[in-house]
Structure 1
Amino acid sequence: MRISDFAVRNVPFMLVASLLLGALGISAWLKISRTEDPHFPISAFSVVVVYPGADPQEIEHQVVQPIEDAIHTLDDVKELISTADDSLGIVRVEFEAYVDTEKRYDELTREIDAVARKLPSGVASIEINKINPGDVNIVQYALVSDTASYRTLEDTAKDLKDALERIPGVKKSETWAYPQRELRVELDLKRLAELHLSPIQVLGVIQADNINVPGGAVEAGARRFNIKTSGAYRSVQQVLDTVIAGNGAQAIHVADVATVRWDSGPLDYVARFDGERAVYVTANQKTGHNIFETKAQIDSAVADFAKTLPAGISLQLGFDQSRNVKSRLDRLGHDFTLAIILVALTLLPLGLRAAGIVMVSLPLSLLTGLAALYFAGFSLNQLSIAGFVIALGLLVDDSIVVTENIARFLRMGHTPDEAAMRATRQISLAVLGCTATLLFAFVPLLALPGNAGKFIRSMPLAVVFTVSASLLVSLSIIPFLASRVLPRDATEDGNAALRLLMRLIHGVYAPWLRRALAHPRLTVGLSALAFGLSFALVPQMGLSLFPHADTPQFLIDITTPNGSSLTRTGEVLDEVEQVLDRQPEIKHLLSNLGHGNPRIYYNEFPHEDASNYAEIFVQLKAFDPRLTPALLDRLRQRFDAIPGAEIVVKEFENGPPIEAPIALRVIGPDLDTLRDMAARIETLMRATPGVRNISNPLRRSRVDLQLDIDTAKAGLLGVPVLDLDRTVRLAVAGLSAGDFHEPDGDKYPIMLRAAMQTRPTLSTLEGLHVASAGGAQVPLAELATLKLSESPPRIYRRNRERAVSISAYTETGYNTEAVTNNLLGKLAKMDWPPAYRYEAGGEVDARKDSFAGFGTAIIVAVFGIMAILVLEFGSFRSTLIVAGVIPLGVTGGIVLLYLCGYSLSFTAMVGFIALIGIEIKNSILLVDFTNQLRLQGKPLDEAIAEAGEIRFLPILLTSVTAIGGLLPLALQNSPLYSPMALVIIGGLISSTLIGRLVTPVMYKLLPPDLSAASAEAPGY
């Protein structure tokens, strides 16, 4: 039995089924996670190695290269990017997008564990981190005080952290921007020299006394006892009482040569909230939780915590992601409501009852699609909602066609049940074919490769789920409703709106169709000419990847010359803050000196510690699509006038992370040559219009003080070079002697430092002595001299080769692709030394990966649709006639996109792929009905003309409803959604108006052979 026949004859069952679909959707709506952006897995990891005291070249050769070689042996490695810095090596590896992330993590861990045994003994730590776009903070609080001590701020921040982590929806909370508390052992170097002791001896003794080795277990009769050893300090007094040396009669204790006290380590990261000293507390959310529910729980916990704040400390909310999510969902919800109203208005020609029946398919299809999205594990985010808005204009198409056909059968005099079953039966195969072709346009988008494909995946999935649900609704629930609701006494001409449309069809469309049929080759030739001319607009539009995110926040990165002190960088930060304080559009400033702001956006990652770096996270009062870009341009011009620093105003971007819109990489073995080539490229960039904020990491070499050791003399005196190096480090930066464990489980480092009142200076080194093998104290000045030396500030490597990336941003009004191509043309004319090459990074490189799958997606979509058409019609000619509408839609999409001033972006390309299925859907209705009329015995020209006039109304209504559903997205002026919506709208306009002439003409030129076809298509 056919589905439609079953539905008409089993009314109670259909009512229960409808209620079940609605209940599932409502349940999903209440439970589904709501996020600002899609959370998608990235098969990327970072290996972070800390090797205190090593310079970048030592880190490169002794740490980075062995790790790279080990990782390179793994399968499916896509990219290796490494940096070698002072005391720090970072290797980032990205695997192909299709790999099993957990399996690769296990393999990577195994390889790193194996290579760790071969690394230098001085390596302090190795960490393997998963790079997860979903691990972003949803709140950032600031504990603000200019009077409270950092110890008080730290304790208060940790109390708030504990309160947040007790919330069920919070995954992790972190505290930021205060000096690490430490148990400091300040050595009196002069006293040590008098006692013929070295700092290294003190270090060794404390390390040895602080080791807790498990003693095992013993049995005594029927009892078993664990033996606790005496290691590990439990109080400061124990440290003071530690014996360093003695001659049997008198012991020398730590208290005799040092002061032991609790103190704070160096302040390398300073935070300010609106200019006042602050400590930050952040929290991120567990996967699958509703951000609004989590934020409500956070608000309750924070309100209780605020009552316990110490005097002089205020608690400020610096960032709340739920506001961004609410703003985006509200805006899309407004568009969604407007789209429903527009869709309802376009249905009026069907009559109020018919329009009401079609509108029933909206909530049922949407709720069913939402339930499927929830069970598939996706969140409700800006892209999935955009998918629902796109689907809104499409999911009523099948219901319109079925309802309009049933109404036509009723006007012809059939009974309601008979009209519902026969009309649905007549159109069912065409409806199935239409929906299948539409789905085949979106399904390939689900398989787009790379992170860009993962980023947009929830959008086509929402369309596929919802449109599939609409097919089920249109062939089951709609016929049953129509048989009960549509008026039985409907006039043959319909209501006033329908009569008006029919007059327009007969008075305007029919004469144009006759003219086109009279000149078929001219009609096809003109449409082909329009298609060809539209492609001339593409170079003028340019290509782009993902646009800026419309969020009321942005970042300002400040970089002073390499080697700059934290004080110097802070002076520039002060000047930038003064400029920002005068901007009325700004709400809050969250400043970070020496470190990047904690992570609050999925494709932004905090900058590592650096004394020459600062970052300001700027909160605006509101985002305005016209005023906010103008504010950012004003700030860029103002900051360009600040000398001695690179200041970059950065907007948050949609899509996968990229280093900068423009990036040119140079690869080669020698650092000096790389520096020279980078300088030449930077000069080219500065002379190229449209380029701003150029960053060249090798612009300036770093000047260091190098300790030049007389190894021969040190050897004669019995002074190990290692002891000499460690003595210098103890005096300058301090040496860790292990951890002090408190009863509550917290642990803090025990740091040995030279006693001094200020930060270490050159004079600090003058009083250093090193112990010889015989116990004599040898002045450092007799074994080593200090000299200035140049060294690279950081060594970059890409895919196991040395490299440097010169990056920049694009001026407002310039196209990134055009500017990059201009630069690449200049690079091609440069003389390149042997073994050196260049390549494009930034948007060009990311677009190569992101757009690579579009060709495959288009091929799969077109050939999949062609296969469905051949299966449906059993004729290659019918298939070719239907597919002939594709170029017409592409023409309209390109023209409207160009007229609205948008480039050919990633989302615009998504729109073109979706358009293929949407426009073919309408052509199927026309060709299928023409075939039916010919099978009924009507002549070719009469069948073409009659089919064109009868099917024009449902085709027009489905196109107008699709346009109405997409119009709010197009008018939103969103650089993410609007290009996609405009492409589909433009394509539907051209394919509906021109295609309704070209498709009949192609049918006349290539009439299908229907001799083997059945007079009635099989139903359900």
Structure 2
Amino acid sequence: MNLSRQFIIRPVATALLTAAIVLAGIVAYRQLPVAALPQVDYPTIQTVTFYPGASPDVMASGVTAPLERQFGQLPGLKQMTSISSSGSSIVTLQFDLALSIDVAEQQVQAAINAAATFLPRDLPNPPVYSKVNPADAPVLTLGVTSRSLPLTVVEDLADTRLVQKIAQLPGVGLVTLSGGQKPAVRIQVNPARLAANGLTMDDVRIAVAAANVNQAKGSLDGPLQSFTISANDQIHQSHQYKALVIAYRNNAPLLLSDVADVIDSAENIRQAAWMGDQPAIIVNIQRQPGANLIEVVDRVKQLLPQLQSALPSSVPVTVLTDRTTTIRASVHDVQFELMLAVVLVVLVIFVFLRSAAATFIPGITVPVSIVGTFAVMYGLGFSLNNLSLMALTISTGFVVDDAVVMIENISRYIEEGEPPLQAAFVGSSQIGFTILSLTVSLIAVLIPLLFMGDIVGRLFREFALTLSAAILVSAVVSLTLTPMLCAKLLKPVADRRPGAFARAAERQFDNLVAFYGRTLRWVLNHQTATLIVAIGTLALTLMLYLIVPKGLFPIQDTGVILGISEAPQNISFDAMAERQQALGRVILQDPAVASISSFIGIDGTNTTLNSGRIQITLKPLAERGESVGEVMSRLRPALAKVDGITLYLQPVQDLTVENRVSRTQFQYSLEDPDEDELRAWAPKFVARLRELPELHDVATDQLDQGLQARVQIDRATASRLGITP
């Protein structure tokens, strides 16, 4: 049975089939998304709850525990971690890879609703969840600042005109403002004046709340006209609050300004951010797990001119970090290597076949097979990433094998005197089954990769399927287009006129064959030595396998470094701000650094006052000439000279497996149902690790050494005086 016969005798139909494959591949290529790696993100959702003034113990028992009880019942939950600190609770949920993040979102919302009755009644806001992995670095970081407007105004503009629009874009998981200076009126009560007038803090709170409401007032309806009632029941400025009457003493009104200082300020004055060394509002944009990073960034950048036009000219928006820069460059490099591989393969074929016609055939079939694979990739929902393009690069060797096998067999019959058409019939008939068996055997080698589980399986499944698709398309092309071109382009032996290059190449090949013959005879005459060399090679291979470092994925140079700063747990906000800026000044002096963004304060990212974040954007690799590891090694000694604070540096990676932000490269978790025992042994364990010479930057997230003022209530006396806790 000759599978290629109908394609040989119908060259027009074969050409149209080839054109259809190429056209489908070109159209699919233009639609394929670009990414660094295949989509392997776990569905992850983060829930954040703020309860200002609450201690970590109160947050753990009153907020985190009720939420954990409800979240623990969710189907498909793979891992749940939580952090309870002063005034904030963060619960991170990681689900199975097979679960859709939209389904997980519905489950989380239902669990939050179920836990609402168990949460403190005076929570300022209910728990807020986001479809985002907190360990995943922002895909885009923007800096918003102004030299003429206060940061409270800048923050309000960024919150109302930037954040809301960006958060609506598909694929955006979370948009956060760091260094938030949300406008607010701060009432700083003087306790002595308050007590002198027989008032308490609760009296002030009630008076302020009663004088500042926003309720329906109704309307007035008459026989001819109707009026909607409006009133100045809301006050917004500090001078309006100052004139607020909170009580009457000695037949005279007691104003709020008599017992308190009322100022226009920020809602949270213990947050700050810097763009370089300039105070700013930092906008961090994170993608949803599974969303294409480049598409998300492109959508945001496309929207930025419109958003900038909605801001005053004195409020510029600056792109500080763009993680797609290195991704685009790496994908472009792999694309170039793929094209270079095709060219080199064709040149090698020309050197060995020494025939322009015979070289032209694989020069057509190899690109057709690769382009046709793009259509299969699009149908499977894949992307152009480093692994899929690497699969195509590797497939170049397999693809050309099919074409060369077919061409060589047909050429053999032509050299024996058969006409090209008849040689194509006979040669393709003999080699067709061989190509099919080669295709099946090559795909069989990749089957184990398809059955690998968890994140490793997801990572290499796209690689295996892309390579399998390229091999299948190559088999189709080799059984259709290749024999047809051989019948049309290859010439009989009598018509061939070898040139000078062909004759010179033939002499070199004869010399190579003669050299191989001599070495083969030597090996056959020294079989014992050959066997010893083979066994030694095997032993050396096993030894090298044990010695070579192993890991899930190599450290990437994405051009972005994430720094987590840590100061003593009893540090004040002002001291923390001073030391954080000192770190920034040291980093900016490094010649490899392009820009930095830095922020401190308790928010959805930082959980304690003594920690901060610094995101360092490096110059392009060609410009800095150093790897990210070398830059970090140079920065560490300089940063260590800053007193009272430590900065832990980690290169940002495209592949994020964990759902917890770590100060260091590796994490080790200690668990103990006895909290006191855990607090006793964790410092000992950390101290022992720090003694190991192989490790540096050993840290712990156990922060229980801060200063605390504990109030011991005498309940009997408090009850007698009418005082409640």
TM-score, normalised with respect to structure 2 = 0.84
Contact 2:85–2:607 (Cα < 8 Å) also in 1: no
Residues 37/302 of structure 1: CA separation in 2 closer, same or farther (3 Å cut): farther
2:405 to 398, 401, 409: 401
Contact 1:455–1:656 (Cα < 8 Å) also in 2: no
In 1, distance between residues paired with 2:597 and 2:127?
31
In 2, distance between residues paired with 1:531 and 1:517?
20
Q: Deviations over 1:368-425 (max 9, x none)?
A: 2222223333332333322322223332221222222222222222332332232222
In the alignment, what sits opposite 2:393? 389
- Any unmatched runs of 5+ in structure 1? 597-605, 722-1020
1:104 aligns with 2:104: yes
Aligned positions of 1:14-53 closer than 5 A: 14-53=14-53
Residues 498/339 of structure 1: CA separation in 2 closer, same or farther (3 Å cut): same
Aligned positions of 1:297-446 closer than 5 A: 297=302, 300-301=305-306, 308-310=312-314, 315-348=317-350, 349-350=352-353, 351-446=355-450
2:274 to 272, 275, 282: 272
Which amino acid is 2:302 matched to? Answer: Q
1:196 to 183, 186, 198: 198
Residues 259/52 of structure 1: CA separation in 2 closer, same or farther (3 Å cut): closer
1:62 aligns with 2:62: yes
Q: 3-state DSSP class of the match of 1:476? A: helix
Q: How far 1:357 sits from its partner (Å)?
A: 1.0
Q: 3-state DSSP class of the match of 1:674? A: helix
In the alignment, what sits opposite 1:670? 674
In 1, distance between residues paired with 2:94 and 2:171?
28
In the alignment, what sits opposite 2:180? 178
Q: 3-state DSSP class of the match of 2:387? A: helix
In the alignment, what sits opposite 2:155? 154
Q: 3-state DSSP class of the match of 2:707? A: strand
In the alignment, what sits opposite 2:577? 570
Aligned positions of 1:602-617 closer than 5 A: 607-617=605-615
In 1, distance between residues paired with 2:324 and 2:494?
51
Q: Deviations over 1:534-593 (max 9, x none)?
A: 212222113222221122222332211112122222333333334333322222232223
Aligned positions of 1:618-1017 closer than 5 A: 618-623=616-621, 626=626, 628-658=628-658, 659=662, 660-698=664-702, 701-721=705-725
Q: How far 1:332 sits from its partner (Å)?
A: 2.0
In 2, distance between residues paired with 1:290 and 1:654?
15
In 2, distance between residues paired with 1:632 and 1:533?
35
Contact 2:220–2:229 (Cα < 8 Å) also in 1: no
Q: How far 1:693 sits from its partner (Å)?
A: 0.6
In 1, distance between residues paired with 2:465 and 2:532?
38
Q: How far 1:105 sits from its partner (Å)?
A: 3.3
Contact 1:186–1:259 (Cα < 8 Å) also in 2: yes
Residues 450/581 of structure 1: CA separation in 2 closer, same or farther (3 Å cut): same
Contact 1:563–1:612 (Cα < 8 Å) also in 2: yes
Q: How far 1:448 sits from its partner (Å)?
A: 3.0
In 1, distance between residues paired with 2:328 and 2:52?
46
Q: 3-state DSSP class of the match of 2:709? A: strand
2:550 to 540, 543, 547: 543
Which amino acid is 1:321 matched to? Answer: R
Which amino acid is 1:369 matched to? Answer: T
Contact 1:175–1:279 (Cα < 8 Å) also in 2: yes
Residues 65/92 of structure 1: CA separation in 2 closer, same or farther (3 Å cut): same
In 2, distance between residues paired with 1:110 and 1:314?
41
Q: Deviations over 1:951-971 (max 9, x none)?
A: xxxxxxxxxxxxxxxxxxxxx
Contact 1:156–1:309 (Cα < 8 Å) also in 2: no
Q: How far 1:717 sits from its partner (Å)?
A: 1.3
Q: How far 1:653 sits from its partner (Å)?
A: 3.1
Residues 114/715 of structure 1: CA separation in 2 closer, same or farther (3 Å cut): same
Q: Deviations over 1:149-194 (max 9, x none)?
A: 1134335535762797499888576544231212444556555445
Contact 1:209–1:231 (Cα < 8 Å) also in 2: no
Q: Deviations over 1:831-854 (max 9, x none)?
A: xxxxxxxxxxxxxxxxxxxxxxxx
In the alignment, what sits opposite 2:7? 7
Contact 2:144–2:281 (Cα < 8 Å) also in 1: yes
In 2, distance between residues paired with 1:279 and 1:53?
24
Contact 2:185–2:267 (Cα < 8 Å) also in 1: no
- Any unmatched runs of 5+ in structure 2? none
Which amino acid is 2:691 matched to? Answer: A
Contact 1:164–1:301 (Cα < 8 Å) also in 2: no
In the alignment, what sits opposite 1:127? 128
Q: 3-state DSSP class of the match of 2:698? A: strand
Which amino acid is 1:108 matched to? Answer: V
Residues 554/532 of structure 1: CA separation in 2 closer, same or farther (3 Å cut): same
Contact 2:181–2:269 (Cα < 8 Å) also in 1: yes
Contact 2:145–2:281 (Cα < 8 Å) also in 1: yes
Contact 1:97–1:449 (Cα < 8 Å) also in 2: no
1:561 aligns with 2:568: yes
In 1, distance between residues paired with 2:374 and 2:519?
43
Q: 3-state DSSP class of the match of 2:199? A: coil
In 1, distance between residues paired with 2:221 and 2:473?
71
Q: How far 1:432 sits from its partner (Å)?
A: 1.7
Residues 75/291 of structure 1: CA separation in 2 closer, same or farther (3 Å cut): closer
Contact 2:277–2:585 (Cα < 8 Å) also in 1: no
Q: How far 1:260 sits from its partner (Å)?
A: 6.1
In 2, distance between residues paired with 1:191 and 1:375?
75
In 1, distance between residues paired with 2:545 and 2:123?
54
In the alignment, what sits opposite 1:143? 144
In 2, distance between residues paired with 1:284 and 1:661?
21
Q: How far 1:358 sits from its partner (Å)?
A: 0.8
Aligned positions of 1:216-295 closer than 5 A: 233=234, 262-282=264-284, 287=291, 290=295, 294=299
Residues 500/215 of structure 1: CA separation in 2 closer, same or farther (3 Å cut): farther
Q: How far 1:117 sits from its partner (Å)?
A: 1.5
In 2, distance between residues paired with 1:212 and 1:525?
91
Q: How far 1:246 sits from its partner (Å)?
A: 7.5
Q: Deviations over 1:447-500 (max 9, x none)?
A: 432234334444333323322222221111222222212223378999548745
Q: 3-state DSSP class of the match of 1:81? A: strand
1:534 aligns with 2:541: yes
CA RMSD of aligned residues (A): 4.2
In the alignment, what sits opposite 2:452? 448
Q: How far 1:361 sits from its partner (Å)?
A: 2.1
Residues 80/162 of structure 1: CA separation in 2 closer, same or farther (3 Å cut): closer
Contact 2:41–2:657 (Cα < 8 Å) also in 1: no
In 2, distance between residues paired with 1:101 and 1:192?
53
Q: How far 1:292 sits from its partner (Å)?
A: 8.5
Q: How far 1:18 sits from its partner (Å)?
A: 1.8
1:483 to 478, 484, 487: 487
Q: How many residues align?
A: 705
Residues 301/138 of structure 1: CA separation in 2 closer, same or farther (3 Å cut): farther
Residues 143/50 of structure 1: CA separation in 2 closer, same or farther (3 Å cut): closer
In the alignment, what sits opposite 1:916? none
Q: 3-state DSSP class of the match of 2:571? A: coil
Residues 108/277 of structure 1: CA separation in 2 closer, same or farther (3 Å cut): closer
Residues 670/396 of structure 1: CA separation in 2 closer, same or farther (3 Å cut): same
Contact 1:42–1:133 (Cα < 8 Å) also in 2: no
Aligned-pair identity in percent equals 22
In 2, distance between residues paired with 1:465 and 1:134?
34
In 1, distance between residues paired with 2:449 and 2:209?
59
Contact 1:55–1:86 (Cα < 8 Å) also in 2: yes
